[in-house]
Structure 1
């Protein structure tokens, strides 16, 4: 039986629509929408974050990436979670003691949006060595949703990948390897 969607190793994905891929208006729309989802200023420099330092964000990002890799999340989950994290930190002062909770909530939301079978709240609590409780994660999820005004369909670097790859003079048999190394 031949499958119509792009399935590989248990991952079910729709195939790329060549009409959308080669329509310059799509790329133009992505570029114009991207501005809407990028924090306006550095939240470390403009005084929004006084308790959090850049190295703490880096440590959190490393942890989030390790969780996404360990759980074999879709590639888009990490970039989308980081977008949520940065947008939230740009508008809400956050204590460093709540940073991992915020990261877990951002991954939870991104996973729900981009995964067929999303990360569970219980599993995310386990990845924090149970330093956060289930109810805390759910409450933080609601807070992030409110602060982002429920606008979760952000444009991330991953959204540009197929547009860029389609313009490169790369043999078709090398594209999958190239995709793998961009994530």
Structure 2
């Protein structure tokens, strides 16, 4: 089979698509979570002091809920997960810090992706997420995350490849343009993001697997041939491709099963106590601030950066007692509103 090149991508737009694909392929490795750190997390047993895969996956599901609540786009969610995984693969994180870290990853991603008018305030995100930390804690943690990732937060993700592959396919195909549903493909990618194992996959491979499986479902020979050209141009070997394709297929099959806990798309619900409701006004912006966590309770970053680092800090830091009824007027009911296991 011929290579994917100027002969197949004729015209200015085709050349631009090919150039963008080459750029993404060149950049993707830089933004991969460190495999050693991911493997250590996968092998970690569940206990009160260690971060295990279940806690990581639950935090990604929380990120999905935050992006859904604030109306953020899929790119914000995928980038937040990338920042989270890269940081967790580099640092030894205690479970009590994970909530603050998740909020920071969401805010960092939102500031990169969203229009300024759509970026939620730090105080709003703190109240909605119930992360039990202050704006000062968030600011300090954002600085730690940014420094550890060398301020390279705008990553090349599987979503970038998914959109580009989709555009390339539509550029080539003679079939109906609506045959590949991008919203469905994005939802499938979110389902994969909710599982730690897929953080090890190259973004280019993960995106190609999703499109390949969809083309097979549609029984489109033309789409499969185009994707085969993309695979060859991206230098994705068969062993790697079929390994991840099998895992993605299994994940999507479980997602489609009746046993899977899918979001029911119910309207998000505010839960307030009777006493709070009596004093409730039109806005919650007048709610008193939560007690400030002492600045002295910072992270210990003395560990070697050549291995996973230990983010240990004082017991007071990022673990203040639950807010009183008046201190936190609104409580977001995650049991009703979270889209935890998989996105829609």
Which bracket does the TM-score occupy, shorter chain normalised? 0.7 to 0.9
Note the C-alpha offset of 1:151: 0.7
Moved more, 107-116 or 153-162: 153-162
Note the C-alpha offset of 1:127: 1.9
Cα distance in 1, alignment partners of residues 38 and 98 from structure 2: 14
The structure carrying a bigger helix percent of its residues is 1
1:37-116 map, 5 Å: 37-46=31-40, 51-116=50-115
Cα distance in 2, alignment partners of residues 130 and 25 from structure 1: 42
Note the C-alpha offset of 1:28: 1.5
Check if 1:148 corresponds to 2:149: yes
1:156-171 map, 5 Å: 156-166=157-167, 167-168=169-170, 169=173, 170-171=175-176
In the alignment, what sits opposite 1:14? none
Moved more, 23-32 or 76-85: 23-32
In the alignment, what sits opposite 2:184? 181
In the alignment, what sits opposite 2:238? none
Kept in 1, the 8 Å contact 2:59–2:99? The answer is yes
RMSD: 2.3
TM-score (norm 1): 0.80
Note the C-alpha offset of 1:150: 0.6
Note the C-alpha offset of 1:22: 4.8
In the alignment, what sits opposite 1:3? none
Cα distance in 1, alignment partners of residues 14 and 82 from structure 2: 24
Check if 1:35 corresponds to 2:40: no
Aligned CA distance change for structure 1 residues 69 and 42 (closer, same or farther; 3 Å) = farther
Q: What secondary structure is seen at the aligned counterpart in 1 of 2:77?
A: helix
In the alignment, what sits opposite 1:119? 120
In the alignment, what sits opposite 1:135? 136
Kept in 2, the 8 Å contact 1:21–1:163? The answer is no
Moved more, 36-45 or 110-119: 36-45
TM-score (norm 2): 0.44
Note the C-alpha offset of 1:40: 2.7
Kept in 1, the 8 Å contact 2:66–2:129? The answer is no
Gaps of 5+ in 2: 1-11, 187-344
Kept in 2, the 8 Å contact 1:121–1:134? The answer is yes
Cα distance in 2, alignment partners of residues 46 and 26 from structure 1: 34
